Structure 1
Amino acid sequence: MSKKVYFSTPGRFSAKRSLVGAVSRCHHRLAPRHAKKVARKLFLTPTRSPMVNAEPEGVVRSRVQSQEGELQMYSLGAGPTWLLTHGWSGSASQFFPLMAHIASLGFRTVAFDHPAHGQSGGEESHIPGFVQAINDVLDQVDNVSGVIAHSMGAAAVLESEHPQVDDLPLFLVAPVLNYRENLYATVRKSGYSLKLFDEIVQEVGEQHGYPIETIEPLEKLSRRRHPVVIAHDKNDRFASFAVTEKATDYPHVTVLATEGLGHGRILTSDVAMQAFTDLAAKMNPAVQSVEAQTENKKASA
Structure 2
Amino acid sequence: MARRRRAPFRRLLKRAFLRALIRSFPRLGRLSPFLSSALAEMLFRTPPRSPRLKREERALFSARFSKTPFRSGSLPTWKWGKGPAVLLVHGWGGHAGRLTPFVEPLTNAGFSVVAFDAPAHGSASGRRSSLPDMVEAIRAVAARTGQPHAVVGHSLGATACALAIQSGLPVSRAVLLAPCAELEKYSGRFARILHIPVPVRDSMKKRLERRYKITWKDLRISDRAPAREVALLVFHDRGDVRVPLRDGLEIVAGWPNASLVRTRGLGHHRILRDPKVIGRAVAFLGAALDARPASPSVRRQPFRLRPIPVS
TM-score range, shorter chain: 0.7 to 0.9
TM-superposed CA distance for 1:126, in Å, is 1.1
1:119 to 117, 123, 128: 123
TM-score when normalising by structure 2: 0.77
| CA distance 1:101–1:116, change in 2 (3 Å) | same
Q: Is the 8 A contact 2:89 2:157 kept in 1?
A: yes
Confirm or deny that 1:45 pairs with 2:55: no
The aligned counterpart of 2:298 is none
DSSP-derived class of the 1:111 partner? strand
Give the distance between the partners of 2:252 and 2:128, measured in 1 at CA: 35
TM-aligned CA deviation for residue 112 of structure 1: 0.7
**Is the 8 Å Cα contact of residues 218 and 247 (structure 1) preserved in structure 2?**
yes
User: CA separation in 2, counterparts of 1:137 and 1:146?
Assistant: 13
Instruction: State the match for 2:261 in structure 1.
Output: 256
Q: Quick one: distance in 1 between partners of 2:224 and 2:158? A: 11
**Contact 1:82 1:144 (C-alpha < 8 Å) held by counterparts:** yes
CA contact (8 A) 2:239 2:264 kept: yes
SS for the counterpart of 2:276 is: helix
Q: Name the SS for the 1:149 alignment partner.
A: strand
Query: Shift in Å at residue 125 of structure 1?
Result: 1.1
- 3-state DSSP of counterpart to 1:129: helix
Q: CA deviation at 1:228?
A: 0.4
**Whole-angstrom CA distance in 1 between matches of 2:110 and 2:165:** 28
Shift of 1:80: 1.0
Residue type at the aligned position of 2:52: M
Superimposed CA distance per residue, residues 141-178 of structure 1 (whole angstroms, 9 cap, x where no aligned partner)? 21310111100011112222676524431011111114
Distance 1:82 1:164, change over 3 A: farther
Picking from 147, 150, 159, the partner of 2:151 is: 147
* Aligned with residue 70 of structure 2, among 51, 66, 69: 66
The Cα offsets for residues 4-46 of structure 1, whole Å up to 9 and x where unpaired, read as: xxxxxxxxxxxx9xx947x324324434554344323322211
Give 1:281-296 correspondences, 5 Å limit: 281-284=286-289
CA distance in 2, matches of 1:39, 1:68: 21
* Alignment length (residue pairs): 270
CA distance in 2: counterparts of 1:111 and 1:140, whole angstroms = 12
Give the whole-Å Cα distance in 2 for the aligned partners of 1:152 and 1:282.
26
Partners of 1:144 and 1:177 lie apart in 2 by: 23
Three-state SS of the structure 1 residue aligned to 2:79 is strand
State the Cα distance separating 1:284 from its structure 2 match.
Answer: 2.7
When the two chains are superposed, the root-mean-square deviation of aligned CA atoms in Å is: 2.8
CA distance in 2, matches of 1:167, 1:54: 28
Match of 2:6 in 1: none
Q: Secondary structure at the match of 2:224?
A: helix
User: % of aligned pairs identical?
Assistant: 25
**Counterparts in 2 of 1:221 and 1:182: CA distance versus 1, 3 Å:** farther
SS at 1:54 equivalent: helix
Q: Give the letter for the 2:191 counterpart.
A: V
Partner Cα separation in structure 2 for residue 171 and residue 197 of structure 1: 31
TM-score (norm 1): 0.80
Extract unaligned runs of 5+ from structure 1. 4-15, 286-301
Alignment-mate amino acid for residue 254 of structure 1: S
Amino acid at match of 2:58: E
